[in-house]
Amino acid sequence: MPEKPKRVVLRGSAKAPLEGARAVGAVPGDERFEVTVRVRPKSPLDPTSKVNADVLPKNRTYLSRQDYTKQHGADPADIAKVTAFAQKNGLVVVEASPERRSVVLSGTAAAFSKAFEVKLEQFEHDQGTFRGRSGELTIPADLDGVIEGVFGLDDRPQAKPHFQPRSSSSVKPKAAAAASFTPLQLAKLYDFPSGLDGSGECIAIIELGGGYRTADIKTYFKSLGLAVPKVKTVRVDGARNHPSTPDSADGEVMLDIEVAAAIAPKSQIVVYFTPNTDQGFLDAITTALHDNTHKPSVISISWGGPEASWTSQSMSQYDQAFQTAAALGVTICVAAGDSGSSDGETDGNTHVDFPASSPNVLGCGGTELVASGSAISSETVWNEGTDSATGGGISSTFPVPTYQKSVKLPGAFRGVPDVAGDADPNSGYQVRVDGQDLVFGGTSAVAPLWAGLIALINQKLGTPVGFLNPLLYGSLSGKGLLHDITVGNNGAYSAGPGWDACTGWGSPDGSKLLSGLGG
């Protein structure tokens, strides 16, 4: 008998069972679905290049999307190896993308189970049903190192939106002082540069559910006295713009669009709708990064989950995508979470939210802001309790990045967040969702707030800001370009002078930040 081909474990593929879920039977063998296989790059990106250094944007040289693909995309020979593997196992290649380093395979549950030696089961949990797996995947030994991740075998919900509606029960006695704001009012309070509107820029927004109604966008921007922004939809992995009710993910979608577009009204807003799975989330990020039609210069992400809920292959591949963003000059703004230093986990330990904990993104924490007229009278850490407080703390996955070695961290890993902005629902954002005028808070609002500001700065500088972190922790630190938040805590961590694990360096002073980045 011929010797059975040698197989190896796909590193980082181990997946833990979802707490509270129970198996209700095997996935039917003839059920068809698609899986994304991530392939290694021709050559890895240089982590010491200028785009990752404390260098002003005007002195950075970014790669074009075409040059990135030529130098760092997937090798056609590697794609051919994956294609041969797929065909041998009865799977069909429906897309091969060298730039996204992705090969999308279609097939039956039985074929995928055989190809990756995995048991697929149907599960029930309090949010519904999903196709799941646990344990590790295996691949042929000759693909070891070629395949870096396999996504889509398991379609459990991966992330949560980080927005919070303001309810009457959450309003504190001092809420009259901490009134809600329009994005334009916050832009004025944070002294965003005037005379700029984001012209020529594109802001990408990643959404894992929900939808928007054009009528709401028209009504909202008319109320602000602004022209209706250009909003486009890109469908990823079959997802679509699917609005329903205000208490659904629609709240996230509308908050993101309305904040970003109000700050940068002439920028193009492109919403990438994708399924809420590890596959969908990754595919949306890589699709936005390599979108050669819209060419976003900043990406806003307001979804995430505790690091423990991700496989290591997921965190590795997402982080590689964010490294690609730096090389392309794209800034990634990510909400840091809304459940304080526990990030919603109940084990009594501290946790941080991913993808905000990636060292290659701008992690965005939250504050409570009180205004007096057109000036900020106080700004403190947002903390209304365990389930309503800014995320922040120390990663359990990512080592201390080079740029953070200049600050005192309360641990030996990456500190989160990097910056902050108004997020308390008590001092929240006035939005319109599914025909209703509401007030939302959450760090979800801070990511598009910063994305809009960066679009304005990109417009003024004439070159993308790109990866902002090395500058914030380097030559721009201590220069008063952000409002240092020194009062409050998020549970385990307290604010103080300089960087802290609640609000990072603080909230923006837009005009000063523009001046600093312009040199």
Q: At what angle do helices 312-328 and 65-72 cross, to 10 degrees?
A: 130
Q: How far apart are CA 432 and CA 302, in angstroms?
A: 18
The answer to whether 35 and 112 have CB atoms below 8 angstroms apart is yes
Show Cβ contacts of residue 46 under 8 Å, excluding neighbours closer than 6 positions: none
Which residue intervals of the chain bear CATH 3.40.50.200?
A: 160-518
Q: Provide the β-strand partners of residue 25.
A: 122
| CA–CA dist 413, 407 (Å, integer) | 12
Residue of 191, 252, 278, 500 with catalytic role: 252
Tokens of 204: 């990408």
Q: Number of helices and strands (H, E) in the chain?
A: 11, 27
The pLDDT of residue 1 is 55
One digit per residue, the tens of pLDDT, for the chain of length 519 reads 556 679 999 999 999 999 899 999 999 999 999 999 999 999 999 999 999 999 999 999 999 999 999 999 999 999 999 999 999 999 999 999 999 999 999 999 999 999 999 999 999 998 899 999 999 999 999 999 999 999 999 999 999 999 999 875 444 544 444 589 999 999 999 999 999 999 999 999 999 999 999 999 999 999 999 999 999 999 999 999 999 999 899 999 999 999 999 999 999 999 999 999 999 999 999 999 999 999 999 999 999 999 999 999 999 999 999 999 999 999 999 999 999 999 999 999 999 999 999 999 999 999 999 999 889 999 999 999 989 999 999 999 999 999 999 999 998 999 999 999 999 999 999 999 999 999 999 999 999 999 999 999 999 999 999 999 999 999 999 999 999 999 999 999 999 999 999 999 999 999 999 999 997
Q: Is residue 148 annotated as a catalytic residue, yes or no? A: no
| Residue 420 contacts residue 365 (beta carbons within 8 Å) | yes
Q: What is the third-level CATH fold of 160-518?
A: Rossmann fold (3.40.50)
Query: Does the annotation mark 444 as catalytic?
Result: yes
Q: Determine which one of 256, 319, 353, 500 is catalytic.
A: 256
- Residue (of 194, 348, 209) closest to 281 by Cα position: 209
Q: Catalytic residue, from 297, 341, 444, 507: name it.
A: 444
Q: What is the DSSP string of 326-392?
A: HHHT-EEEEE--SBGGGTT--SSS---EETTTSTTSEEEEEEEEEEETTEEEEEEE-BSSTTSB---
CA distance linking residue 172 with residue 513, whole number of Å: 33
What secondary structure, in 3-state letters, does 304-333 show?
EEEHHHCCHHHHHHHHHHHHHHHHHCCEEE
Q: Is the peptide bond before 355 cis (omega within 30 degrees of 0)?
A: yes
Task: Give the number of other Cβ atoms within 10 Å of residue 202's Cβ.
Answer: 24
Confirm whether 252 is a catalytic residue.
Answer: yes
